Amino acid sequence: MAMYKQILFIGLLLISGVSYASEKTVIRFGVLAYGTVNWELEALKQQGLLETADYRLQVLPLANPQAGKIALLSGAVDMIVADWVWVSRQRSMGKDYTFYPYSNTTGALVVAKNSSLHSLKDLKGKKLAVAGGKLDKNHILLGALMQKKGLVDKEASTEKFYGAPPLLAEQLKQKRVDALLTYWHYAARLEAEGYKVLMTGGDILQQLGIKQKVPSIGYVFSEAWASKNTQAVQAFLVSTKKVKNNLCAQDSAWQGISDLTRASTAQTSSLLRQRYCAGRVLAWGEEQHKAAELIYQALIQGSGRRLTGNAPHIVSGTFW
């Protein structure tokens, strides 16, 4: 009888071990209720990649970017999409968050097709709308470029307005502002309607002497959590790369997310796809990290450390 109980106990342990080993990592992914990350989530769903042998993705909708950061800080989610400047600042305060690139796509400075603005010097005395607020990275970098070009007086004379991208796009359409610095997908929609891109965020970096493409946003998560779930995290990142490539290479995959892109015309859909695909991260290594440090220094000077915090350099471990 005692021998039978021992055998039964060992059997239960073996069954429990098999069950435990078969459990996959649940990745609680906090995602804005709007935004392009949802495009990829839908593609993941359609391609059967929301759950694999290594992970199960649990998507938690968020109201705004700040809500995502709060959710990550509180432990309500395991992963969000955010920028590496915020990650570096958090690490300077003792947090262990780390960053893996999501997209190289940047915003753009948009004007009307028949606008009299042809270069930055033409902004003198004009009305400039900026999506994202005074501490928007493209806004700070645009200021750095104008300073480099000796156009500080012209920037000072520019009347600036801040607000949500859709509202500011309407202001541009109603000719209440002369130019709009906005996020890439809003710029693409305006371009499809005949508006002109005067300069992209990439152009700003190029003219600042930064030649490498540096992704501004990426997947952000705890380094300790990722160390415990490395296989699941890596498998998820492989899946996201796969769906990105499919969306760019297969017309049927892109058509499958058409409802989410909300493209009202074929021209809009085409431009959104072009800009999205141009943002795929093809290189991420030492050269890009060095370029990121140059951007960081420009952001320190341009924001008076309000954006970066007090760390004089990107904090070690910021990039996973």
Asked if the model's pLDDT at residue 5 lies above 80, the reply is no
Same domain, 100 and 231: yes
Same domain, 182 and 228: no
Same domain, 99 and 228: yes
Work out the percent of the chain whose per-residue pLDDT is above 70.
Answer: 93
85: in domain: yes
Same domain, 92 and 41: yes
**Distance, CA of 271 to chain centre:** 18
- φ, ψ at 199 (rounded to 5°): -165, 140
9: in domain: no
Same domain, 87 and 223: yes
Same domain, 123 and 175: yes
314: in domain: no
235: in domain: yes
Calculated CA dihedral for residues 25, 28, 29, 32, nearest 10 degrees? 160
Confidence of residue 132 (pLDDT cuts 50, 70, 90): confident
Quick one: average pLDDT of 57-84? 96
Output the average pLDDT for the chain: 92
**Of residues 155 and 290, which shows the higher confidence score?**
290
pTM to 2 decimals? 0.90
- The predicted pLDDT at position 33 comes to 86
Contacts of 242 (CB under 8 A, 6+ apart): 47, 49
Same domain, 89 and 114: no
- φ, ψ at 120 (rounded to 5°): -65, -30
How many angstroms separate the CA atoms of 3 and 23, rounded? Answer: 31
DSSP letter for 264, please: S
Asked if the model's pLDDT at residue 6 lies above 70, the reply is no
Same domain, 192 and 112: yes
Residue 147 is part of a domain; what is its CATH number? Answer: 3.40.190.10
Tokens in use for 291?
Answer: 């370029």
317: in domain: no
Tokens in use for 196?
Answer: 């002109």
Tokens in use for 114?
Answer: 């028949």
Quick one: average pLDDT of 277-283? 95
How many angstroms separate the CA atoms of 148 and 144, rounded? Answer: 6
Domain range for 250 is 24-104+214-303
pLDDT digits (tens, 9 = 90+) for 213-262: 999 999 999 999 999 999 999 999 999 999 999 999 999 999 999 999 99
Confidence of residue 35 (pLDDT cuts 50, 70, 90): confident
47: in domain: yes
Single residue among 178, 207, 236 that ends a domain in this structure? 207
- Side-chain half-sphere CA neighbours of 147 within 13 A: 10
309: in domain: no
Residue bearing tokens 């359409």: 173
CA distances from 317 to 29, 97, 117, 221, 298 (A): 21, 8, 42, 12, 20
Same domain, 97 and 222: yes
Same domain, 100 and 112: no
Asked if the model's pLDDT at residue 53 lies above 70, the reply is yes
Q: Which H helix or E strand runs over 192?
A: helix 184-192
Same domain, 276 and 130: no
3-class state of residue 67 by DSSP: helix
Contact 288, 213 (CB under 8 A): yes
Counting the structural domains of the chain, the total is 2
- The predicted pLDDT at position 34 comes to 82
18: in domain: no
- The predicted pLDDT at position 20 comes to 40
- The predicted pLDDT at position 154 comes to 85
Same domain, 193 and 267: no
